[in-house]
Structure 1
Amino acid sequence: MSAPVLSPQGQAPQLDTVRSWKTPIIYAIFAVVALAGFAFNAPGGTATFGISAGRDVIQLAPVVVPTVPVGWASALIVTAIAVFSFLQIKGGRKDPRWLPIIYAVVFVIGFLVWVVGSAERTDVSLVGLLAGSVTLAVPLIFGSLSGVLSERVGVINIAIEGQLLAGAFAAAVAASISGNVYAGMLAATVAGVLVSVVLAVFSIKYLVNQIIVGVVLNVLVSGLTGFLFSTVLSRDSQTWNSPPSLPVIQIPVLEHIPILGGILFRQTIVGYLMYAAVIIVYIGLFHTKWGLRVRSVGEHPKAADTLGIKVNFTRARNVMLGGAVAGLGGSFYTLVSVSQFTTDMTAGQGYIALAAMIFGRWNPVWAFFAALLFGFATNLRFVLSILGTPVPGEFLAMLPYVVTIVAVAGLVGRSRPPAANGTPYIKG
C-alpha cells in the first residue's frame, strides 16, 4: 500500500511506499540455521546420492559429495541471498521471482548433504527419494486442484480434508464389496461430490459462512467415517474393508529412462490421472471460454451476471467438480497406499493441500509444484528416519508442517486470491 505525500515545493505528490520485511527476515533466519548447521557443524566425510535405479537402461554412477565444502557453499549462498533481499526491500524494489526458488534449492541441497553425511548410513537413493515424494504428493495434488476449482469461482473450500477422507472410505467399501478397483475409484468420486453438494447448498444457497461450513464438513465426515469404521468395517473387515490394490502400470522403454523413468512412467492409473488433471484444469481455466467465465465469476460476479453468466450455478458446478477431483484423490489412500481404510487416515493432508493451493497462487501448475514440495518433505521424514540421522524424531515428524507454515507465511502476503473469494452473491 502507499499514501500520497506532497513534496516540499507543494508540487506533484510522491508515493511513500510501505515496505514488507517478512521475506528477508525469513531468509535471514534460515541463513543463520544454515551457517550454524551446514557450515560450522558440518559432519566431515562425504554423502553419497544414487541417481540410477536397478532397472534403468543407462546406469549412472552415484554422486559423492564432500560435506564441508558443500555445507559452507550453501550456507554462504543463502546468506548472500538474504543480504540481497534486505537491500532490495530497503531500496524499494521487489525481489526477482526466481530468488525464492534458488534459495529453496540451495538450502535443500545443503540440508540433504548435511543430514545424510551425519547419518549412520551416508548413502541415499535420490531417485527413490524423488519417486516417493511424487507418490506421496498424489492426494495433495488432487486436493489442491479441488481448491483451485472452487476458489476460482469465489467459494472457499476448507472441506478438502473431508472430501479426501470420504473418497478414501467410499473407495475401500465399494472396491471391497465389488472386488473391482475401478468401482472403488468411481465411488470415491461420487463421495467427494456428495460432500461438495452440502458445501454448495449451505454456502451458495443459504449464504452460511464458507469457512465454518468447510470446518463442520471435515468434522462431520471424520465422525461419520469413524463411526462406520468401528461399527461396520471393523466387525467384518473381509467383506467391507479388504479392497484390492491398483496395479502399477509401467510404460515400456520410457520407464527405463534414468532418474525420470521411475518417477513419471511407473504409476498407477491414479498417478497418471493426476498428471492429466493438472493439464486439463490449467488449459480449461486459462485457455477456454469456460475458464474465462469461471474466473470472471470469482473476480467480479456482478459484472459476470450482467453478461448473462449464471453466477451461483457456475459456483455450484465448480464446487462439485472440485469435490469429484478430491474424492478421486482420496481413493489413493485405500487403493494405492494401504489396502484398507482406517480412522482419519488422511491425517490433515487436506489442509496441506489447501496450503499448496495458496502457495501455488491459485494456479494449477504452481499448486502442483507446491504439493510436490510438501510430498518431498513428508518422504524425506521417512527416509531420514531409516538412515538413522542425528535429527530428533520429533523434528522429523514436524518437517512437513514446518515446510507448510514457512512456505505460506513467506508468500501468502504477496498472493492475491480471487477478488470475490468467500463473498456470497445475491442477485439484484
Structure 2
Amino acid sequence: MSTTTGEASIPLDETPLAGVTTVIDKKAPVLLSVLAVGLAAIVAFFPESGDTTFRLAVPSDFAQLPTVTVPSTLTAWVLAAVCLLCAAGSVVLYRQRRRTPMWLVIVYSVAWVVGFLTWAATGGTIPVVGLLSGSLALAVPLVFGALGGVLGERSGVVNIAIEGQLLAGAFAAAMIASVVGSAWAGLVAASVAGVLVALLLGLFAISYFVDQVIVGVVLNVLVLGLTSFMFTQVLAPNADTLNSPPHFDRLVIPVLGDIPLIGPIFFRQTPIVYLLYVAVALVTWALYRTKWGLRVRAVGEHPTAADTVGIKVNRTRWRTILIAGAVAGMGGAFYTLVSVPQFNREMTGGAGYIALAAVIFGKWDPIRATLAALLFGFATNLQGVLSVIGSPVPSQFMLMLPYVVTIFAVAGLVGRSRPPAADGIPYRKG
C-alpha cells in the first residue's frame, strides 16, 4: 500500500527512501486534538448530573429495540477519552509521515457526537430514529446539489450556481405543481429550472470563457432577485392557485420499512428520497463505469489530451453541466413539495454553498460528497432536537452549528485534496 504526494510515491509500511520527501497535511491531527480537548473541557467545566436516554425504536416497529439509558457524565468522559486516544493516534501517524486513515476519523466522529449528545441531553431523551431520519430528509437538497457540483467540476466547470439551481427548482416546483395539481409535474419543472440556470452558466463559462466563479455568483444573485420579484408580484397575490402545491406523502416500503431502526430511517420516506438513492447510485456508476464517465473525467483532468483522441471537450462539458443542473434542480423541489407548503423568498438559506462544501469535503466523489451532505444534514437536524429537549447548549450556538461543522470539515477533516486539474479553466481549442 502506498500514498502519492505530488510526484513521489511513498510506501506506507516501509521506511521512506533517502532523498524522497513526503508532505502529510497536519490539519487533521490538529483539528482532532482541538475538538477532543474541547469536548473534555465542556464535560469538565460544565458538568451535568443525571442520565441520558436514547430511544432506538418507534411504536410502529414490529420488533422493539430496548431503550438505552446511560449515566451522562461517566459516558461523556469515556467517549472524550476515546476521542483523545484517536487524536493521539493521528498525531503519531503524522509524526511517522503517514495519513490519518478514514476509519479512525469515523470512530472519532461517532465517539465525539455521541459524547456531546450524552452531555447535552442530560435528563432528556434522544429520539435516535427521529434524529437520523430527519437528518436524511434535510440532507436531500444538499445531496442533489452536491451531485450536480461533482458532475460539473469533474468535467472542468466550477458550479457555484448550485444555490441558484436549488432556488429556481423550488420556485418552479411550487408554481407548476400548483397549476397542474401534481407533485410529479412540479418535480419535472424543478429539474427543467435547474437546466435553465445551467444553460446560462454554460453559455458564459464554456462558450464565452467568462470566469466561472464570477458567473456562478452572478447567477445566484440573479435567481434570488428574479424569484423574489415573482413571489411578490405573482405568487403572493395568487397564493391559492399558484403557490399551493400538492405534497409528496411518505411511502413505506413493505418489509424493509419494518426493520427496526434501519426501516424507519431509510424506507419510510417520500418518493424524492427514494429518487435520491437512485441518483447517487446512477451518478456513481455512470462516472466510473461508463465510456461517458471516462470522457467526463478526461476533459476535467486533461482536456488537450482528450481532444487529441477525438473527444469533443466543450460538447462534453455542455452535456455534463446540463445534466448537473437537472440533478440540482430536483433538490430544490424538496423545499416546496416536501418541507413547507409553499414557496418563500430565499427559502434555500445558502444550502447551495453547503452543497459546494460537501463536494470539496467529498473530494469530488459522488459517494463521499453524499456522506458529507448527510453530515451537514445531521448537524442541521441536531439543533432542532436539542432545542426541543431543553439542552443547556445556547440557542445561538445551535443555529450556527451546521455552518461550524461545514468550516471544520472543509478546513481540517478533508485533509489534502486535489480538484480535477482543469477545473475552472476554459478550453480554447488550438
Alignment TM class, shorter chain as reference: over 0.9
Displacement of 1:305? 0.7
Deviations 1:172-223 (A, max 9, x none): 0001111111111111111000000000010000000000000000000000
Aligned partner of 2:151: which letter? L
**2:191 is equivalent to residue 189 of structure 1:** yes
Matches within 5 A, 1:240-255: 240-255=242-257
Report the aligned-residue RMSD.
1.6
- Contact 2:165–2:197 at 8 Å: present in 1 too? yes
1:388 corresponds, among 387, 390, 408, to 390
- Contact 2:24–2:98 at 8 Å: present in 1 too? no
Q: CA separation in 2, counterparts of 1:350 and 1:3?
A: 34
Displacement of 1:91? 2.6
Change (3 A) 1:15 1:232: same
**2:364 is equivalent to residue 359 of structure 1:** no
1:321 corresponds, among 311, 323, 339, to 323
Aligned to 2:13: none
Matches within 5 A, 1:230-249: 230-249=232-251
Aligned to 1:8: none
- Contact 2:31–2:413 at 8 Å: present in 1 too? no
2:116 corresponds, among 111, 123, 131, to 111
Gaps in structure 2 of 5+ consecutive residues: 9-16
Displacement of 1:65? 1.4
- Contact 2:156–2:420 at 8 Å: present in 1 too? yes
Q: CA separation in 1, counterparts of 2:353 and 2:56?
A: 32
Secondary structure in 2 matching 1:236: helix
**2:64 is equivalent to residue 62 of structure 1:** no
1:99 corresponds, among 90, 100, 104, to 104
Secondary structure in 2 matching 1:49: strand
Q: CA separation in 2, counterparts of 1:263 and 1:97?
A: 24
What's the TM-score once normalised by structure 2's chain length?
A: 0.94
Aligned partner of 2:71: which letter? P
Displacement of 1:98? 1.7
Deviations 1:281-305 (A, max 9, x none): 0011111111111111111111111
Aligned partner of 2:82: which letter? I
The alignment covers a number of residue pairs equal to 418
Q: CA separation in 2, counterparts of 1:218 and 1:260?
A: 37
- Contact 1:42–1:71 at 8 Å: present in 2 too? no
Deviates more, 1:184-193 or 1:61-70: 61-70
Displacement of 1:374? 0.5
Q: CA separation in 2, counterparts of 1:404 and 1:335?
A: 26
1:47 corresponds, among 32, 43, 52, to 52
Aligned partner of 1:81: which letter? C
Q: CA separation in 1, counterparts of 2:142 and 2:6?
A: 37
- Contact 2:93–2:100 at 8 Å: present in 1 too? yes
Displacement of 1:125? 0.8
Aligned to 1:273: 275
2:150 corresponds, among 148, 153, 178, to 148
- Contact 2:199–2:322 at 8 Å: present in 1 too? yes
Aligned to 1:178: 180
What percentage of residue pairs aligned between the two structures are identical?
56
Aligned partner of 1:219: which letter? V
Q: CA separation in 2, counterparts of 1:412 and 1:254?
A: 33
Displacement of 1:413? 4.5
Q: CA separation in 2, counterparts of 1:18 and 1:334?
A: 47
Aligned partner of 2:387: which letter? S
Deviates more, 1:167-176 or 1:285-294: 285-294
Q: CA separation in 1, counterparts of 2:34 and 2:127?
A: 30
Secondary structure in 1 matching 2:20: strand
**2:289 is equivalent to residue 287 of structure 1:** yes
Q: CA separation in 2, counterparts of 1:82 and 1:413?
A: 14
Displacement of 1:83? 2.1
Q: CA separation in 2, counterparts of 1:413 and 1:256?
A: 39
Q: CA separation in 2, counterparts of 1:267 and 1:80?
A: 38
Displacement of 1:13? 6.4
- Contact 2:177–2:185 at 8 Å: present in 1 too? yes
Displacement of 1:123? 0.7
Q: CA separation in 1, counterparts of 2:32 and 2:142?
A: 26
